[in-house]
Structure 1
Amino acid sequence: MTVSAVVVTYNRLPMLKEVIEALQNSETKVDNIIVVDNNSKEDTQEYLTSLGDAIRYVRLKDNIGGSGGFNKGVRYFMEETTDDYVWLMDDDTVPTPTALTELVNAAKKINNQFGFLASDVRWTDNSRAQMNLPSPKSRFHKISLHATELEPLRNATFVSVMFSREIVANIGLPITEFFIWGDDIEYTERSARVLPGYMVPTSRVIHKMANNIASNVSLDTINRVPRYFYAFRNQMYFSRQRGLLLYLRTHLKVLYEIFRVFLNHKPNMRLRLKMIVKGTVTGWFFRPKVEFAKNKKVSH
């Protein structure tokens, strides 16, 4: 079983170096390390170029966001390699040495009958990363920090998640037009409609975010608030794929987010409200295109 790791990066060179080193030191060999560079500064370009054949370097001429980066990375996996699996992560995701081993072992255990396999994502203090909390299939089930068996999930984030070549060929690529936010939730839910998705609790990675906090438009720093437009717009799209009842429930959540903005009364309330409303309304009419890649393993 061969594996391509896809890392999407943008101007975080010190962190990226640590991620690449961790991949190179994986107990189970990573057959191809595909680094998608969203037009980072020259220092990142120079470093990645210096690695030569140790990686597959995909430099984009524009920053098309994490969503576009993962789209390009998965396409490269399909069209330029013949590996069996693609393993996705951000440039601040540091896999433990056995993270991939546990994912591959899980894939063998269930005879490759999975839509996606996700790692247990921890923060630097070993608590669960709040941005990447698992979403159990049963909404009333909480996954223990000490779990060892596979746990069925509804969706997962692109912070250490693995797909088979067959699944990608079936469902297509992550949606570039999302730009940022929610591309991973939409994509893992898309794959889970074909085969179940699971968390592999014994596969651990460290998500080295600056702070271990969940996203919250009513509390986030003002420089991050504009990106919530994409969160609400994209959420409208992928909640629509879940069916009418869940789509309507998403609108109730939007009302709750508006209430929280007034409740928390942080600076720039008007901008926070604008991103919620603008994103939601735009999302009603958002119809992004799902692209498919050629499959090198079939054509050769």
Structure 2
Amino acid sequence: MNKVGVIILTYNRIDLLKITLCRVLNQTYKPSEILVVDNFSTDGTIDYLRSVEGINTLFLGQNTGPAGGFYEGVKYFAENTDVEFVWMMDDDFFPFMSCLENLMQSVDKEKILFPYTREKNFVFRKEPGWWGVLVPMDIIKKVGYPKKDFFFWSEDTEYLLYRIREKYNFKAQWVKPAKGVHFTERIKNHRHTWKYYYEVRNMMFMRLYVRKPTLRRYYKLMRSWLFLLGAIVVKENEKFSKLKMFLYGTWHGITKKLGKRIDPSSGKKLKL
């Protein structure tokens, strides 16, 4: 029986975490270890996790974003355990009880697997992301860990789609019998101001310096950039603050300034 380590990343969503953890603990295929990585929650999550049996925890000293959280989780399993596969998810992914079992029936150490995932609004995900992706440790040891300097946004795209699939040519397989629900609906309008900084910065960096440059990619970059700009001007409140963050993120993407530079809790620039 193959050994599977589970990473659940959480931050201030204790109600969602309880559901995800319950579903993972009751999988028909039992993982060897469940690791909950807490990104410095302040809503009672830490006390709750200390009361749960059958799991391990990694409490981070600050909010490192999805990029930092999955970096630390993957690093933990790669350097401290003998698991053969790592099953990764955010705290808002609710796997069906047989999800892992069905993934393991298609297991292959030369490809990543991801489940049939329905969003809250009934849109289906047909690309891998932090919603139950299963990655062989053999692949992790070849390609490395998620890029923690992204902090928020595009870190799963860089790791799963570009680095693993495009750069190293490992396949990604959609396993339809393995099912789950991604419960938190992504809101396109009225985003927090700080999100515009990371979204445009990481998009610029990815398409300018990570992926192979082509005229088509430059065109798509400009189109996406203009779309985000238009969304702020036409649909958003607090336009001036969001435009400032948008332009600040654009500059940092072009000049390769990554890392956690805007504090989500305050929306202010950090002194580095």
TM-score scaled by length of structure 2: 0.85
Q: Tell me, what secondary structure is at the counterpart of 1:5?
A: strand
Matched, 1:117 2:113: yes
Query: Per-residue displacement from partner, 1:180-233 (whole Å, max 9, x unpaired)?
Result: 111101001211132122222222111121xx34x53xx224xx2311211111
| Residue from 217, 222, 227 that aligns with 1:251 | 222
Q: What displacement does 1:43 show?
A: 2.4
- Equivalent runs, 1:125-136 vs 2, <5 Å: 127-128=122-123, 133-135=125-127
Equivalents in 1 of 2:5, 2:29: separation in Å? 12
Change (3 A) 1:43 1:259: closer
Q: Tell me, what secondary structure is at the counterpart of 2:141?
A: helix
TM-score scaled by length of structure 1: 0.78
Residue of structure 1 in register with 2:182 after alignment: 207
Deviating above 4 A after TM superposition, structure 1's stretches of 4 or more consecutive aligned residues are none
Residue of structure 1 in register with 2:196 after alignment: 228
Residue of structure 2 in register with 1:180 after alignment: 152
Change (3 A) 1:228 1:134: farther
Please tell me the residue identity of whatever aligns with 2:202.
N
Q: Tell me, what secondary structure is at the counterpart of 1:57?
A: strand
Residue of structure 1 in register with 2:136 after alignment: 164
Equivalents in 1 of 2:231, 2:211: separation in Å? 25
Q: What displacement does 1:275 show?
A: 2.8
Change (3 A) 1:175 1:202: same
Q: What displacement does 1:122 show?
A: 1.1
Tell me which moved more, 265-274 or 16-25: 265-274
Please tell me the residue identity of whatever aligns with 2:154.
G
Q: Tell me, what secondary structure is at the counterpart of 1:191?
A: helix
Alignment length (residue pairs): 252
Residue of structure 2 in register with 1:284 after alignment: 254
User: Which blocks of at least 5 consecutive residues in structure 1 are unaligned?
Assistant: 136-155, 290-300
Contact in 2 for aligned 1:254/1:276 (Cα 8 Å) = no
Please tell me the residue identity of whatever aligns with 1:59.
F
Q: What displacement does 1:124 show?
A: 4.2
Change (3 A) 1:220 1:118: farther
Tell me which moved more, 224-233 or 42-51: 42-51
Equivalents in 2 of 1:79, 1:265: separation in Å? 46
Query: Per-residue displacement from partner, 1:76-119 (whole Å, max 9, x unpaired)?
Result: 11112111111111111111011111211122xxx4321x2222
Please tell me the residue identity of whatever aligns with 1:123.
E
Change (3 A) 1:45 1:260: closer
Contact in 1 for aligned 2:65/2:151 (Cα 8 Å) = yes
Q: RCO greater where, 1 or 2, for CA within 8 Å and sep 6 or more?
A: 1
